[in-house]
Structure 1
Amino acid sequence: MPGTETAYLRYVALGDSQTEGLGDGDDSTGLRGFADRLAEQLARHEPALQYANLAVRGRLAAQIRAEQLAPALALRPDLATVVAGVNDLLRPRFDADEVAAHLETMFAALTAQGVHVATITIPDPARISPLARPLVPRVTALNERIRQAARRHGVTVAETALHPVASDSRLWSTDRLHASSLGHQRIAAALAHALRLPGSDDTWTHPLPPPPLPTGRYAATELRWAAGFLGPWLVRRLRGRSSGDGRTAKRPLLLPVRTDGSPV
């Protein structure tokens, strides 16, 4: 798909841990993530680009709307990404209509200010972890509502849910909740392609080479994952805690973007 002549000068990212960049770098050396990667691609074609990332890990869609929408509007971006809802999917009382309403409010407010908004759909979680199979109907319901809200407000949707490669385990970190560095790279490429940025194409949809044959026992692998990641997550939920408690946005102000591949 050819690029357009649109030049974005102010990009703001709203969201949770995926937008913050978990799974791509770490807190000591710096997180990168798909939003940073998309900003880098934008800056290569428009060096005057300024970029802010308001995302905070653990946030629900309602919290993102309450905490990030007003600051995003105040920054007066011409491009924004809004990616939210996965944390809601994991809650017992998930309501697809309620989550979609928060997303649509953000879509409406941003586009009413003339912002070009982009979002993504959520890949099949059962292909990432069989233990997540009960979440599939929730993901399907939320994706459809995201598409409907996007159509109503002219929001660009990167359809990561429609391509099997998005559920390849190599695109996900060991916790199976956050994209790996390669996964963040693919999400950024999907958004760039959907936005028709110069130099973008559909190679992000292409499958990876065949994986090596698995070693070890499947059951043991699942038990290690449950003990290492699922268990601690459940404990936090029971205690009413979040991974984002006490955290603020990593990049709350619009700043220039480096294009050397380091966290921006």
Structure 2
Amino acid sequence: MTAAEAHGLRYVALGDSQTEGLGDGDDIAGHRGWADRLAEHLARHDPELRYANLAVRGRLASQVRAEQLGPALALRPDLVTVVAGVNDLLRPRFDADQVAGHLEAMFAALTAQGARVATLTFPDITRVIPIARPLGSRVTALNDRIRHAARSHGVILAETGHHPVVTDPRMWSPDRLHASPLGHQRIAAAMAHALALPGSDDTWSHPLLPPAAPLRTGRRAAVAELRWAAAYLGPWVGRRLRGRSSGDGCTPKRPHLLAVQAPPEAPRGQGE
């Protein structure tokens, strides 16, 4: 029997707002998110599981590495998920090699310590945010480098980027920057499938039913985009101009390894 089997699996999640769970809950009741959901799946098969979530909203890949890698290594995890880079994609100065370099450094350090590491690829955000069309090539470049870094270090990769369902509007919260509760559930199911966990399968990649309503066109679409920009893009740009981040003053929601109470129902790819 291994140490992990004797004392319970130690799972640590590193990342930004998606891993923190924004879009799945709120700052008052708390955020659940895909990493919490994955931990619950793990706990169904390992009642002794302990889970820490070091993710903080707004963090760039360099900040995840600088702020979260050391504490993660200190927790001696058996399983680690590392998901970062989207905040970098949205910055005016984006260097795919530099971002991937920070991710690869985390992969190397964690796998060298014996942890099993998992990550994912990102969807085409231009399908979710049409005005972000110039960023499409950035997503492609970063995903290519994530795949290479994952192969180099034996990191498990959930290929969530190229399945059409990931750009279904119902998978995203109104701000289109964070997954909805259903989106977080699908991400957790994708990770569980990539990790070959008991009870997981590929239904997370199946289209949502019924099909999504046709996208708006013409004047209605333009009005909807303007409303979205005023409600979400404007405040985001304002923070950037002031040199601020949504994560200023925030700390990890779960910095220590704690037990997880598994809910009775098993997560399924089709939704809740």
Structure-1-length-normalised TM-score = 0.94
Alignment of 1:39-188 (within 5 A): 39-188=39-188
Q: Distance in 2 between matches of 1:10 and 1:135?
A: 36
* Aligned residue among 253, 257, 260 for 2:263: 260
Q: What is the identity, as a one-letter code, of the residue corresponding to 2:80?
A: A
Q: What is the identity, as a one-letter code, of the residue corresponding to 1:204?
A: W
Aligned length: 256
Q: Distance in 2 between matches of 1:63 and 1:162?
A: 27
- Per-residue deviation at 1:213? 5.1
Paired residue secondary structure (1:243): coil
Q: Distance in 1 between matches of 2:105 and 2:150?
A: 11
* Aligned residue among 215, 234, 243 for 1:240: 243
Provide the residue aligned with 2:20 in structure 1: 20
Q: What is the identity, as a one-letter code, of the residue corresponding to 2:46?
A: E
- Per-residue deviation at 1:162? 1.6
Q: Please list every run of 5 or more consecutive structure 2 residues that lacks an aligned counterpart in the other structure.
A: 265-272
Q: Please list every run of 5 or more consecutive structure 1 residues that lacks an aligned counterpart in the other structure.
A: 1-5
Deviations 1:162-185 (A, max 9, x none): 211111111000001000000000
Q: Distance in 1 between matches of 2:134 and 2:120?
A: 21
Q: Distance in 1 between matches of 2:29 and 2:252?
A: 16
Q: Distance in 1 between matches of 2:81 and 2:29?
A: 24
- Per-residue deviation at 1:83? 0.2
- Per-residue deviation at 1:31? 0.2
- Per-residue deviation at 1:260? 2.9
Q: Distance in 1 between matches of 2:215 and 2:85?
A: 32
1:249 equivalenced with 2:252 (yes/no): yes
From the superposition, tell whether residues 214 and 136 of structure 1 become closer, same or farther in structure 2 (CA, over 3 Å).
closer
CA RMSD across the alignment: 1.4
Q: Distance in 2 between matches of 1:125 and 1:214?
A: 15
Q: Distance in 2 between matches of 1:227 and 1:58?
A: 20
Q: Higher mean Cα deviation, 252-261 or 229-238?
A: 252-261
Q: Distance in 1 between matches of 2:12 and 2:132?
A: 31
